Amino acid sequence: GNAERKNEAKNYNEVMSTLPKVKGLRGDDYYLYQGFWYAPFFLERLMSVQEHFHPQSTDIFVASFPKTGTTWLKALTFAIFTRSRLSGSTTSSLLSKMPHDCVPFLNYNLAQNPSNRDLTIPLLSTHVPYSCLPKSIISSCCKIIYICRDAKDAFVSLWYFHATLQRSKNVEPLPLEEAFELFCNGIANFGPYWNHVLGYWRASLEFPEKILFLTYEEMKKDTAAHVKKLAEFMGCSFTLEEEEEGEVQKIIGMCSFEKLSNLEVNKNGKCLLDISIPIPNSIFFRKGEIGDWANHLTPEMGARLDDIMERKLKGSGLKL
Ligand code: A3P
């Protein structure tokens, strides 16, 4: 009950007070916990799910660092999984619900209330790094689909997201240059970015049946091949008949940036990732392009981040 929650919050605060901290992107303190940085809001929820969360054995997780394609991947996995129910005139809930409301976040929605999910749809999502996932997930046979993206585009997307949120609260956002400096030092929620990527990359090499590793860029280049791959990985491959009927293209169209960003719910709705901050759905749809970083970062900044990524990923077999 309530008393328990208060007690728990107190314990988490005690743990937090022992952790290394720095000033982060929103002027908040960021805490270093199990090798990754978190604002208190995220850390409390992480500690809570690490302690309490138990998946169903059939659950499939969409995992990502923020701003690397989570919304798109949620829409695609949801559309793929629910397609067989949509025979006849029924339309997908993707048309009336924001993707984040179709596939709940482990570290927000479910941290608040573990029953905050539709048990008939085994899709959940998380930004938690692989090594920080609840043991109950690691030791389960749950599948994980991870998406990541060019670091420069991820950073620019992240900065815009924060800046837009801040301005909506009449707060002056952190200058891009300062945010960039933090990002290059690994400081961001769920960061360092490179360690987030590496954790899932290595796990996907070790457990290829369990973890599917994707990039935003590959998905953009050949969405159809990836939609089929996703379906196969999720255990609901497209039948020949479905392919002939254009089911793959239908799903791609429904989940496209153009389609989703123009829906009423995504233009004017808000989502409750946490009751304290209703977030306008529209800020999850900015541009949806590859390489937009070049319009916002100098070539020198770009080269610096490329260099950091290259050094950090060296020897891993991954090029991003
Ligand atoms: P940009 O800011 O570069 O436009 P996340 O979903 O992890 O928060 O990532 C957000 C990024 O994905 C944003 O990138 C956003 O525009 C893009 N995005 C959202 N929906 C998309 C879709 N349906 N297709 C492709 N990209 C999408």
pLDDT digits (tens, 9 = 90+) for 291-307: 999 999 999 999 999 99
Ranking 70-84, 166-180, 236-250 by mean pLDDT, the lowest is 166-180
pLDDT of residue 183: 97
- Of 100, 127, 162, 226, the active-site residue reads 127
| CA nearest to 148, candidates 91, 73, 92 | 73
CA distances in angstroms from 168 to 31, 42, 72, 165, listed in the order given: 25, 21, 24, 5
Cα 281 to ligand 1 centroid, rounded to whole Å: 12
pLDDT of the residue at 272: 77
**pLDDT surpassing 60 at residue 79:** yes
Give percent of the chain above pLDDT 70. 95
Q: If we measure between CA atoms, which residue out of 37, 35, 5, 41 comes closest to residue 21?
A: 37
pLDDT band for position 119 (50/70/90)? confident
**Catalytic residue flag (residue 127):** yes
- Range scoring the smallest mean pLDDT among 10-19, 79-88, 222-231, 233-242: 79-88
pLDDT at 89 over 60: no
The mean-pLDDT minimum among 24-33, 91-100, 151-160, 193-202 falls in 24-33
55-313 to CATH, choices 3.10.20.600, 3.40.50.300, 3.20.20.70, 1.20.1050.10: 3.40.50.300
Average pLDDT on 260-275 reads 88
pLDDT digits (tens, 9 = 90+) for 244-258: 999 999 999 999 999
284 lines ligand 1 (CB under 6 A): yes
- pLDDT band (50, 70, 90) for residue 87: low
In whole angstroms, what is the distance from residue 86 CA to residue 128 CA?
32
Q: What is the mean pLDDT of residues 196-221?
A: 98
Residues with Cβ within 8 Å of 150's Cβ and at least 6 positions away in sequence, in order, are 216, 217, 290, 291, 293, 320
Overall pTM surpassing 0.80 (yes/no): yes
At 308, is the pLDDT very low, low, confident or very high (cuts 50, 70, 90)? very high
Q: What are the boundaries of each domain within the chain?
A: 55-313
Q: Closest Cα to atom 24, ligand 1: which residue? A: 257
143, 142, 147: which is closest to 211 by C-alpha?
Answer: 143
Across 19-25, average pLDDT: 85
Residue 46: pLDDT band by 50, 70, 90 thresholds? very high
Question: How many CB atoms sit inside 10 A of residue 139's CB?
Answer: 9
Q: Kindly state if the Cβ of 99 falls inside 6 Å of ligand 1.
A: no
pLDDT tens-place string over residues 270-294: 987 765 678 899 999 999 999 999 9
DSSP string, 90-106: ---GGGTS-HHHHS-BT
91 pLDDT band, cuts 50/70/90, is low
Q: What is the mean pLDDT of residues 176-204?
A: 97
pLDDT at residue 26 greater than cutoff 70: no
**Per-residue model confidence (pLDDT) at position 208:** 97
Q: What is the pLDDT of residue 261?
A: 98
Beta strands in 102-235 (DSSP E): 123-126, 143-148, 211-215
Res 99 pLDDT > 60: yes
Tell me if 255 CB under 6 Å of ligand 1. yes
What is the per-residue pLDDT for 267? 96
Instruction: State which ligand 1 atom lies nearest to the alpha carbon of 260.
Output: 23
Instruction: State the complex-level ipTM.
Output: 0.99
Q: What percent of the chain has pLDDT over 90?
A: 78
Q: Compute the average pLDDT of residues 193-220.
A: 98
What pLDDT, on the 0 to 100 scale, is given for residue 88? 46
The reply to whether ligand 1 has any atom less than 6 angstroms from the CB of 41 is no
